Amino acid sequence: MTVLSKLQVIFLSCLTAAFFFPLSSSQSWNGDHEEIERSQFPNGFLFGTSTSAYQVEGAYLEDGKGLSNWDVFSHIPGKNVNNENGDVAVDHYHRYLEDINLMHSLGVNAYRFSISWARILPRGRFGDINLKGIMFYNKIIDYLLQRGIEPFVTIHHFDMPQELEDRYDGWLSPLIQEDFVHFAEICFKSFGDRVKNWTTINEPNYTAKFAYMLGIFPPSRCSPPFGNCSVGNSDIEPLIAMHNALLSHAMVADLYRNHFQPKQGGSIGIVVAAVMYEPLTDEKYDRQAVNRAFDFHLGWELDPLVFGDYPLEMHQILGSRLPSFTPKEKSLIKGSIDFIAINHYSTSYVKDCFHSDCFPFEARRINGYIGTSEMKDGIPIGEPTGLPGFPVVPTGMEKIIDYIKLKYHNMPMFVTENGYASLAKQNVEVHEMLQDFDRIEFHKAYLAALLTAIRKGADVRGYFIWSLMDCFQWTLGYGTRFGLYYVDPETLNRIPKLSANWFANFLTNTSSSGEKESTRHPFSKEEFVAKNFEAQRAEMK
């Protein structure tokens, strides 16, 4: 399989399938939304940006850091586009002061980042704590607070010490639970006096699918028809990996609540990748397939944490393949989150694969017998982005928040990732990348949809843009760009895109002259480009 075809599989797997159709631009979304202001959101609402350790830090063997699974995986030829890796990434390890100053200039009041497990514990619990790693994150947290920015910390965001993979296969072993508790306890002891919002694991539902079903994330385990890895079982191992991740979360949440939360006063949650689903047709089988899609994607992660067990449909379809919780584990896991963190980007159509012809990897128990598509009667569900399978569907934001609100008792929610991948174009000049009007319109539209959900009663408390700057996008390397800031690949200088200017204006409700204004610019697109272009050229020099 070529790298390109692997990438297509990656991002359609986010929608529980791996096939997509060409997208056209026949549907318009630019400007079809309410113009909003920051003041319309609740008091204390967090507006921030997101990154993760492996994607931005670099310094992969510096100051005592050990090898992570992603360090090893990214050095295997053919795993990533152009064989790119995070050895240097965007050098946040050495430029964190500059990056925090960029956040301060935007006016954000929160920053979501993750902690490199291998930087704190190079060998997991089989080795010593790396005090230089502790010092690094202490400096980040202290400087964030000095600049008036609240740290919002994810303990684990895909990267773990390679030694844990080598010793016992990582998330496939119950032994990971002890290691994760050990790591989290060090984080709570070292940073918990200043960190008030913790998420334990980023998107375990994606880790299970990418790493153990499709085999395109480390440790590259899969089986046909999902892929041709050297080891793995795509029908069983994703369930085991998720089960161990959920129990690891529950044990860490129990530790935090009993030993740290009373004194530190923070809260703890988990991050779920949340796609919105719509039925491909009005037929009852497709409507039922939507329910299964939610259960096998969202409910797989959230139902145990809120209700104490996996969704009923997962039990009925998977039978004995689905791991079970003991009564003690059910008691531990139920109610083990204070809030739900949601990474939402897009919406997909869903079709039934019990009664319809589907691709072999769709008509499987592990997928809930569903297929997905971005096309209906030849019409795309939304405008394309730089990621196939991630079309722009702003109404999906309102609908997914409504769904989670209703099913999970309106628990507090944070949107911890939402972002726009620029459309890939050939021979694009840097100044063209900086004129990212589509990204501005994307965030305006999704924020308007989010505000509608909040007005309808959803307890949403924050919104984080992915990402602060262009960075390493896992197997996609550096060519797929989500950032508010462009990063020069040679100098690593950060250069603001128009979206950075827009976000700063939105957060301060001011124009570049310092006058109050709404989020709609009073001048044309061409005037806006001319107004900012010379300043951006100066930044590039």
417 carries an active-site annotation: yes
H or E element: which one contains 112? strand 110-114
Chain-centre distance for alpha carbon 480: 15
Residue with tokens 């924050």: 462
Candidate list 150, 417, 429, 515, residue with the active-site label = 417
Longest Cα pair distance anywhere in the chain, in angstroms?
A: 64
SS3 82: helix
The Cα–Cα gap between 122 and 399 comes to: 42
Nearest residue to 37 via CA among 499, 537, 431, 517? 517
| Contacts (Cβ under 8 Å, ≥6 apart) of 292 | 313, 317, 368, 369, 370
Is the separation of the CB atoms in 69 and 159 below 8 Å? yes
Pair 400, 344: CB distance under 8 Å: yes
Closest CA relative to residue 276, chosen from 75, 495, 450: 450
Q: Of all helices (H) and strands (E), which one includes residue 101?
A: helix 92-106
Judge whether 461 and 46 are in contact, CB under 8 Å: yes
Rg of the chain (C-alpha set): 22
CA 120, CA 127: separation in Å to the nearest integer? Answer: 10
Closest C-alpha to 47, from 411, 511, 506, 420:
506
Q: How many CB atoms within 10 Å of residue 147?
A: 16
How far apart (Å, rounded) are the C-alpha atoms in residues 375 and 381? Answer: 6
Query: Do β-strands 413-418 and 122-125 pair in parallel, antiparallel, or remain unpaired?
Result: unpaired
Cα–Cα dist 28/382, whole Å: 8
How far apart CA 337 and CA 271 sit, in angstroms, is: 10
* Percent helix / strand / coil, the chain, rounded to 5: 45, 15, 40
Give the C-alpha separation, 434 to 267, whole Å.
37
Q: Strand, coil or helix: what is 272?
A: strand
Give the Cα separation of 434 and 227 in Å (integer): 38
Given the structure tokens 């009852």, which residue do they identify? 284
Residues acting as catalytic residues: 417
